[in-house]
C-alpha cells in the first residue's frame, strides 16, 4: 500500500545515459524497450572535448562520465549553451583517486600531487563541468550511498519547483579498485543525466509527478539488466528511463531508502 504524500512535478526535456553495454541514451532505447537484447560490456567513456587541454588531461573518470551524460542530455533537449542549475549525485565519488591517495599515504613518500588533491574533493566534477559549459548557475553536490539517484532527483525537483528554473541532474558512479572493491563492489562506470523544467515546452517529451511510497521498486524482467540496476546505485534510475523509452504513461517505483521508495507517475 502506498503512503499518502504530496508530490512534486517537472517536465523532462533531455536524457543522457552511459554504462556497461549502454553507450548512449539514443542507442540504449531499443534495449530498454526489449527490441534489442542487452549485452553487458565495459563502459567506454569519451574524451571530454569541451575541457581545455590541461583540464582534459587531469580529468578523472567520474568527471569524464558526468560530462558525457550531461552533454548528451543537453544535446537531446536542444539547449546548447543553456545556463543550467545543476545537481550532482554520486554514491562514492572518485574511487580510483581515493585508492591512489590511500596508497600514497601508506607509503614512505606521502607527497600528494596537487592534481590528486583537487580531484579528491566531492565537488570536483561540478568544477570541471562549470569550466566545460561556462555555466554560472547554482550547483549542488550530494552523496546518499545507494539512495543517491533518488536523493539527487528529489533535490533537482525541489529546485525546479521552488526556483521555477530548469535543472540538470547528473547521477554517476565509478568503481573502487581492490581492496575497497570487496566492501563496495561497484563493477563499472555508469551515469544518468536528466534535464527537468518547471513548465511544458516544445522540448518536453514527458511529465513526472514524484511522491514517496512504501511499494516495492520496479524490477527488470531481463536478468542482466536487473543485475546492473542492483549493482550500481546510479542505475537505480533505469526503470524511469525505460518508461521514457517505451513512450508509455505509467507508474514507476524506484529504490530510495530501505523503508521508503519513490513513486513516479510518468505522463507522455
CA–CA dist 16, 76 (Å, integer): 8
The reported pLDDT for the residue numbered 81 is 62
Residue 242 belongs to a domain: yes
The reported pLDDT for the residue numbered 116 is 75
Residue 213 belongs to a domain: no
pLDDT digits (tens, 9 = 90+) for 194-220: 999 999 999 999 999 999 999 999 999
CA–CA dist 137, 132 (Å, integer): 13
Residue 216 belongs to a domain: no
Give pTM, 2 decimals: 0.93
For residue 170, give its domain range: 11-205+225-248
Domain count, the chain: 1
Residue 152 belongs to a domain: yes
More confident residue, 2 or 141: 141
**C-alpha cell of 201?**
515546452
**C-alpha cell of 257?**
531508502
Q: What burial class does residue 59 get, using C-beta atoms within 10 Å of its C-beta: 0-12 exposed, 13-18 middle, 19+ buried? A: buried
Region 137-162: mean pLDDT is: 96
pLDDT digits (tens, 9 = 90+) for 171-192: 999 999 999 899 999 999 999 9
Least confident of 70-84, 157-171, 200-214, 239-253: 70-84
The reported pLDDT for the residue numbered 72 is 96
Residue 267 belongs to a domain: no
Interstrand relation of 139-142 and 85-90 (parallel, antiparallel or unpaired): parallel
Residue 144 belongs to a domain: yes
CA–CA dist 212, 154 (Å, integer): 10
What is the radius of gyration, based on Cα positions, of the chain? 18
Residues above pLDDT 90, as percent of the chain: 72
Confidence of residue 5 (pLDDT cuts 50, 70, 90): low
CATH number of the domain bearing residue 36: 3.40.47.10
The reported pLDDT for the residue numbered 114 is 78
Residue 243 belongs to a domain: yes
Residue 24 belongs to a domain: yes
The helix or strand, by DSSP H or E, that contains position 30, with its residue range, turns out to be: helix 25-32
Region 154-174: mean pLDDT is: 97
CA–CA dist 250, 268 (Å, integer): 9
Amino acid at each position: 500500500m502506498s503512503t499518502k504524500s504530496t508530490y512534486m512535478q517537472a517536465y523532462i526535456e533531455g536524457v543522457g545515459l552511459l554504462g556497461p553495454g549502454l553507450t548512449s541514451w539514443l542507442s540504449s532505447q531499443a534495449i530498454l524497450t526489449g527490441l534489442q537484447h542487452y549485452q553487458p560490456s565495459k563502459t567506454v567513456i569519451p574524451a571530454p572535448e569541451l575541457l581545455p587541454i590541461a583540464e582534459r588531461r587531469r580529468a578523472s573518470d567520474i568527471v569524464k562520465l558526468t560530462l558525457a551524460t550531461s552533454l548528451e542530455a543537453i544535446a537531446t533537449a536542444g539547449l546548447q549553451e543553456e545556463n543550467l542549475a545543476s545537481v550532482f549525485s554520486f554514491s562514492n565519488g572518485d574511487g580510483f583517486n581515493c585508492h591512489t591517495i590511500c596508497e600514497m599515504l601508506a607509503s614512505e613518500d606521502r607527497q600528494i600531487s596537487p592534481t590528486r588533491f583537487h580531484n579528491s574533493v566531492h565537488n570536483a566534477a561540478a568544477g570541471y563541468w562549470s569550466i566545460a559549459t561556462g555555466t554560472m548557475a547554482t550547483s549542488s553536490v550530494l552523496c546518499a550511498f545507494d539512495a543517491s539517484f533518488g536523493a539527487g532527483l528529489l533535490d533537482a525537483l525541489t529546485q525546479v519547483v521552488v526556483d521555477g528554473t530548469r535543472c540538470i541532474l547528473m547521477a554517476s558512479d565509478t568503481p573502487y579498485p581492490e581492496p575497497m572493491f570487496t566492501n563496495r563492489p561497484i563493477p563499472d562506470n555508469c551515469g544518468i543525466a536528466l534535464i527537468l523544467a518547471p513548465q511544458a515546452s516544445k522540448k518536453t517529451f514527458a511529465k513526472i509527478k514524484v511522491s514517496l511510497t512504501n511499494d516495492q521498486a520496479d524490477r527488470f524482467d531481463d536478468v542482466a539488466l536487473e543485475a546492473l540496476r542492483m549493482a550500481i546505485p546510479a542505475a537505480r534510475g533505469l526503470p524511469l528511463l525505460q518508461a521514457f523509452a517505451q513512450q508509455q504513461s505509467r507508474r514507476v517505483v524506484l529504490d530510495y531508502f530501505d523503508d521508503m521508495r519513490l513513486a513516479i507517475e510518468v505522463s507522455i
